[in-house]
Amino acid sequence: MTLEDRPSSPASPLTSTGAEPKYSATATTSRSAAAAAAAAAAAATSAASAASAASAAAATSVSTSSTTPVGAPSSTSSTLLSSSGIGSSLSSRLTDDARDDVPDLRKELFSAAIDSRPTSPTESCSSHQLPLHEHDPTYMHRPLSLLARVIQMSKVSMTILLIVTSSVSITTTQLIGYPLWYVSRDWYRAWMDWTKQLFGILLTSITQFNTPLTMYMTGNRTVEGIFTRNPKSGHLETHIGDRAIVISNHQLYTDWVYLWWFSMTAHAHGSIYIMLKKSLAKIPLWGWGMKNYRFFFLSRSWAQDEKILTEGLSRINVETQHPAWILLFPEGTTISANGVNKTIEYANKFSPPLAVPKHVLIPRARGLRFSISQLHSTVDTVYDATIYYEGIPTGQFGEDFYSMKSMYMKQCYPRRIHMYWRAYKVADIPWQDEAQFEEWLQARWQEKDLLLDKFRRTGKFGAVPSVSPAHVARVPATYLDSGVQIEQERMVEQGPSEVIQTVTAPVELNSVTEVAQIFIVPVTVALLARLGYKAASAIWGA
């Protein structure tokens, strides 16, 4: 993303328009120029690998550059991009014609950056344990030995068996509890919430067994004391109230799995409500089960979604005796090529247009604002998580690299996940005014982008300046991950955001015996049915 050429005067309030705004043609950056620059980058790579003198010259070119791109990766790829002049060309403002080719520009330059890196056939996903700022990851999956393949396939087979049997067992448990609806609605709700706990146990056990990882939690002073380790067991304990709204950036399809684990550490894994895409309701067994959990399946059509949210949230709002965690992703989808294209279109609907961030998508304010408006009388805090996954190569999207297949079939998954948490009192959020809330949310997401950019460069979050709603960046949307300098001093103002001490904890169950809870009801019912059958047979046979 580029944040230069911003107007020095305070930005006008965010207003969404139907037509796309026109950019002034102060400089030209065409697709063909970008393609030529990408080719130059590739050529520079070959030259660098063939002659050390050329490599040294490229390094000198970067070190003597007048501007240092913020967020540019400290790797061979960024060196080549800078030395070939790509970085300076991207700093130019897009013309009307070039703006339409932004997604293609991004893909070409990303491909040039990735393809230009030296590769080694011996490198593998699992061998890269260090943060990106410490090395240049290439991630070539090396061939596994026969024994390693056998072990891997055994783990995959056991995971599939656990998923299938557990899903059937949880669904059966839900069916067994259905008659409680006619006895007591509270009993029925408690039963379904317990099956929701079982599903959380299943997700955590799969993670612990198949993709073991460590979570690193930090944040500003608003969340001080929320994350602690039990002195006896060593397990994480999360001290968030019984009722809360939790929001997060959305990078992987498994984001909600890890946030569900957080609710487990707060003993709220039976009280979590997640906003999901409507298509997920069609998953066999899981979809039907999640409907019983009263999850929100949204179609991205506000005419339909408003009715679903109104019904579900109003019910949660009156059930004050029950805990409730509302989990939603304001971006609406994971960051991907398709998501970027949509976020660029969305950015251009504003006047002036929003700047497209580098590491997140532009959030949609309607769902979160509506949730707060429905729950503000019973929920007093919104918790905001910024997620960073280690190991994703520069220029690749997380969902493409850490796909479900690569994580659970090929054991290529993030060994460490970093989260930066913040808390906002609902009373301090301008949710009553649509325009002010839009600006507030966009400011929070640009802060997320700064946080992620800083971690990618330095390996730590540190204290991030707070973005004032009046300083939300509005510039042409480029969404380029290299060679672009961010004018931080023009978009942020310093704020008190001291960082609390980092707490680390493995994502795991309190005890592996918790898995047995998943099967206890169906097994018990089956045993009782068998005993009853034998007793009846003995009586009637006599």
Q: Summarize pLDDT for 485-505 with one digit per residue, the tens.
A: 333 433 444 444 568 889 999
CA distance 377 to 61: 59
Q: In whole angstroms, how large is the CA radius of gyration of the chain? A: 26
CA distance 388 to 104: 26
Give the HSE-up count for residue 183: Cα atoms under 13 Å, Cβ half-sphere.
9
CA distance 7 to 93: 13
Q: 23 pLDDT band (50/70/90 cuts)?
A: very low
Mean pLDDT throughout 247-269? 95
Residue 168: the pLDDT is 95
Give the HSE-up count for residue 69: Cα atoms under 13 Å, Cβ half-sphere.
29
Which has the higher per-residue pLDDT, 290 or 64?
A: 290
Mean pLDDT throughout 89-118? 39
Tally Cβ neighbours within 10 Å of residue 264.
Answer: 23
Question: What is the three-class DSSP state of 182?
Answer: helix
pLDDT at 210 over 60: yes
Which has the higher per-residue pLDDT, 486 or 282?
A: 282
**Using an 8 Å Cβ cutoff, are 324 and 305 in contact?**
no
Mean pLDDT throughout 139-162? 77
> Which token pair is 198?
């079982």
Q: How big is the CA angle at 250 (ends 474 and 356), to the nearest 5 degrees? A: 15
Helices (H), 29-121: 31-50, 52-63, 76-83, 86-90, 96-99, 102-115
Say which residue the tokens 């409680």 belong to: 180
Q: 542 pLDDT band (50/70/90 cuts)?
A: low
> Which token pair is 387?
């997620």
Average pLDDT, rounded, for the chain:
75
Beta strands in 122-267 (DSSP E): 214-219, 227-229, 236-238, 243-248
Mean pLDDT throughout 207-220? 93
pLDDT at 453 over 80: yes
The 10s digit of each residue's pLDDT in 390-445 is: 988 877 888 888 988 888 877 788 999 999 999 999 999 999 999 999 999 999 99
State residue 396 phi and psi, 5-degree precision: -115, 150
Beta strands in 458-516 (DSSP E): 503-506
For the chain, the distance separating the N- and C-terminal CA atoms, rounded to the nearest angstrom, is: 83
pLDDT at 71 over 50: no
Residue 486: the pLDDT is 39
CA distance 262 to 217: 11
Nearest Cα to Cα of residue 477 among 39, 69, 29, 86: 29
Q: 43 pLDDT band (50/70/90 cuts)?
A: very low
Among 307-311, 457-461, 494-498, name the one with the lowest average pLDDT.
494-498
Nearest Cα to Cα of residue 358 among 395, 320, 324: 395
CA distance 468 to 365: 17
> Cα–Cα distances in Å, from 299 out to 251, 307, 315?
20, 11, 20
Residue 265: the pLDDT is 96
pLDDT at 272 over 80: yes
CA distance 421 to 265: 15
Residue 474: the pLDDT is 66
Mean pLDDT throughout 84-100? 36
CA distance 169 to 515: 11
Strand pairing report for 503-506 and 214-219: antiparallel
Nearest Cα to Cα of residue 395 among 114, 119, 85: 114
Mean pLDDT throughout 64-72? 35
Residue 281: the pLDDT is 85
Report the predicted TM-score, pTM, of the whole model to 2 decimal places. 0.72
